Structure 1
Amino acid sequence: MPRLGQPSEPDPEPGREDVRRAPRGRTEPVDRLFRGALRGSGALVLLIMLLVGLFLTYRAFQALEVAGGSFLTTSAWEPDSHHFGIAAVLTGTVLIGVTAISIAVPLALGTALYISEYAPRKLKRTLVSLVDLMAAVPSVVFGLWGAFFLQGHVVGLSRWIATYFSWFPLFKVDGADPRDPLQTVTVYTSSTFIAGIVVALMVTPIACSVMRETFSQAPAGEREGALALGATRWGAIRAVVLPYGLGGVIGGTMLGLGRALGETIAVYMIISPVFAVQPHILQNGANSVSALIALRYGSASDFGMSALMAAGLALFLMTLVVNFIASSIAARGRSGTGTEA
């Protein structure tokens, strides 16, 4: 009802609804420049990835034309005699990556939960810095540590696993009796298991950072509500934090897997290369695509270099798919509606 002395507002036209219009702000030149720089950076990254893929395809075409479909099913690597394939090294790559991520995910998940939920505020920054600094350690340092220190201390664990779990095909060791005290330990060295442990420590900081970021964005209102209803701290984590951060856990796991699949130097320094499908992770002998390239790059002929480029193309496509899936899942997890009450 209008006040006294004020004209009444005219009635809206019949059939016409009020439409809320978004305010139009003036775009400053700096904003346009910044937006253009971001778009240019994103387009440049995509262009570089496309050029890398085209380069690998061009260099690998000669070998792929000769090998054909047998490139994915042949285990031997003799490119000069036109008998080569990546069946063995691709299997080793997947086994090392799966072994690494099976060890890294529990470590990363526990570390991320402790830092975001249990660590004192004064200690939290220190722990975050330590985890991030761990990701900056060069691969060759991890490789040296794994080859000269870890390997000698893990052989006993490998032997124990083979003794009691050899009924599982992955833990079986051919030609060795784990219960024989005189059995040489060299059958357990330079294995997929040891390489997987080293790679796991390398990918743990990556997975932990993604998980920790997602856990820290869990809605505080729901967390406090769960505590107010009598839930324990672990109950609140299980009911609120973990469901909210599920996308981050999956995304961090996939990002770590993509990193593990492409690791080169540390794996090359630990494994004993074999060109046969080796499904037993505790047994001496393993291989990976990246280690194959590092091993044969210096002595490869022109055709052998084309074959190595084909192996690199297969690894490039595999890691690209894994990282794309991981980025999509992680982005979906970060875009959740986590409003504080």
Structure 2
Amino acid sequence: MPRSLELYRLRRRPPMEKSVDGGFRILAIVLASLVAIVLLAILIVVFWGSLDSMGRYGWSFLVTSNWNPVKDEYGAFTAIYGTLLTSLLALLIAVPLGVGTAIFITENIIPLRIRTLIGLMVELLAAIPSVVLGLWAIFVMEPFIRPFLEVLHNTLGWLPFFSTDPMGPGITPAVLILVVMILPIITAISRDSLNQVPMKLRQAAYGVGTTRWGAILNVMLPAAISGIVGGVMLALGRAMGETMAVTMIIGNSNTFSWSLLAPGNTISAMLANQFGEADGSQVSSLMYAAFILMILTLAVNLLAQWLVKRLSLKY
């Protein structure tokens, strides 16, 4: 035991110091409990507001696509499908880009000044408001990618996923704008995880004769995988809950279609579009959809915790 630590334990602590420590402990417990109470209160309010629709529609609400306030018919399958599809496809594209950018920034492939500039640009990308990204998607991105989508439709239109003619807003533009929004999260957390890998591991890998990419793939990434996975799951939760940019570019259609080129909907977009003018049973149905979104987000967080723990024990 270090002598300084032994002397600290042997000395008498004044009453004021003990009071400060006890007060800080109580304050930390109160603040942590407050976060849990707020989360639980939100969950209870949303659940209470959705009880009417739960009793009226039950599990059929999850597997039907009818959303007709005039006939009092509601089903959230199209929004649930759109939420999961856009989030997972965006994650599938953003993970290789984000992790690759993090490796490019942390490794000495280019001069430090350029790497610093790229890292700053990635951080600035995360600071752009979602409504600005939505406007950019409408006026710049969607017209730019439409010819490529038309080629996909003309060549692979026999597949259900490309069966509709791209006419403007749709699922594919929503996926791409989500990629732009979650890319900084994955890149930043992956970069920090790679920077925290001990230098001794890299030097040991070089000592046994491995190459740079051998050290990256076999040593650096496995050592940082728990942090990278945590960042990926955090980005997935952000993608599932993103509202404004997706609302502006996805088309907000409750008609179900397998096609990635057709307009679609997400739970967040549906809430943003309809909650302000909803009344009666429509409010309860929207609260039911919000409760489903909270359960999905909670499941993602629990999965992230489990994966990070498993990977931390393995590596």
On whether the aligned pair clears a TM of 0.5, the verdict is yes
The reply on whether 1:292 has 2:270 as its aligned counterpart is: yes
The reply on whether 1:158 has 2:149 as its aligned counterpart is: yes
Give the secondary structure class of the aligned counterpart of 1:135: helix
Determine what percentage of the aligned residue pairs are the same residue: 33
Deviation at 1:161, TM superposition (A): 3.0
Residue 242 of structure 2 corresponds to 263
> Which amino acid counterpart does residue 55 of structure 2 have in structure 1?
E
| Structure 1 counterpart of 2:137, from 119, 128, 146 | 146
Report if the CA contact (8 A) 1:77-1:275 is conserved.
Answer: yes
> Which amino acid counterpart does residue 129 of structure 2 have in structure 1?
P
Deviation at 1:214, TM superposition (A): 1.5
- Deviation sequence 1:282-327 (CA, Å, 0-9, x none): x231111111111112221122111111111111111121123224
Deviation at 1:201, TM superposition (A): 0.5
Report if the CA contact (8 A) 1:218-1:240 is conserved.
Answer: no
Give the secondary structure class of the aligned counterpart of 1:286: coil
The reply on whether 1:209 has 2:188 as its aligned counterpart is: yes
Residue 14 of structure 1 corresponds to none
The reply on whether 1:224 has 2:203 as its aligned counterpart is: yes
- Of residues 146-155 and 220-229 in structure 1, the stretch that sits farther from structure 2 once superposed is 220-229
Q: Distance in 1 between matches of 2:305 and 2:180?
A: 21
1:10-89 correspondence to structure 2 within 5 Å? 25=9, 28-89=18-79
Q: Distance in 2 between matches of 1:135 and 1:328?
A: 27
> Which amino acid counterpart does residue 50 of structure 2 have in structure 1?
A
Q: Distance in 1 between matches of 2:223 and 2:240?
A: 28
| Structure 1 counterpart of 2:287, from 300, 303, 309 | 309
Residue 191 of structure 1 corresponds to 170
Residues paired across the two proteins, number: 303
Residue 104 of structure 1 corresponds to 94
Q: Which runs of 5+ in 1 are unaligned?
A: 1-21, 177-186
| Structure 1 counterpart of 2:122, from 108, 127, 131 | 131
> Which amino acid counterpart does residue 196 of structure 1 have in structure 2?
V
1:167-182 correspondence to structure 2 within 5 Å? 168-170=159-161, 172-174=162-164, 176=165
Greater fraction of residues in helix: 2
- Of residues 197-206 and 74-83 in structure 1, the stretch that sits farther from structure 2 once superposed is 74-83
Name the CA shift for 1:328/1:48 in 2 (closer, same or farther; >3 Å).
farther
Name the CA shift for 1:300/1:221 in 2 (closer, same or farther; >3 Å).
same
Give the secondary structure class of the aligned counterpart of 1:81: coil
Q: Which runs of 5+ in 2 are unaligned?
A: none
- Deviation sequence 1:102-157 (CA, Å, 0-9, x none): 22112111111112223544455444333223222111011000011000001122
Name the CA shift for 1:167/1:256 in 2 (closer, same or farther; >3 Å).
farther
Deviation at 1:164, TM superposition (A): 4.1
Report if the CA contact (8 A) 1:79-1:307 is conserved.
Answer: no
Report if the CA contact (8 A) 2:267-2:293 is conserved.
Answer: yes
Q: What is the CA RMSD across the aligned residues, in angstroms?
A: 2.5
Name the CA shift for 1:85/1:135 in 2 (closer, same or farther; >3 Å).
same
Q: Distance in 1 between matches of 2:276 and 2:151?
A: 39
Displacement over 6 Å in runs of 4+: none
Residue 298 of structure 2 corresponds to 320
Deviation at 1:189, TM superposition (A): 2.1
Q: Distance in 1 between matches of 2:269 and 2:18?
A: 51
Deviation at 1:169, TM superposition (A): 3.8
Name the CA shift for 1:79/1:60 in 2 (closer, same or farther; >3 Å).
farther
- Of residues 139-148 and 36-45 in structure 1, the stretch that sits farther from structure 2 once superposed is 36-45
For normalisation by structure 2, the TM-score amounts to 0.87
Q: Looking at CA atoms only, which structure, 1 or 2, has the larger radius of gyration?
A: 1
Name the CA shift for 1:28/1:150 in 2 (closer, same or farther; >3 Å).
same
Residue 215 of structure 2 corresponds to 236
Q: Distance in 1 between matches of 2:307 and 2:197?
A: 16
Q: Distance in 2 between matches of 1:126 and 1:28?
A: 47
Report if the CA contact (8 A) 1:67-1:82 is conserved.
Answer: no
Name the CA shift for 1:337/1:92 in 2 (closer, same or farther; >3 Å).
closer
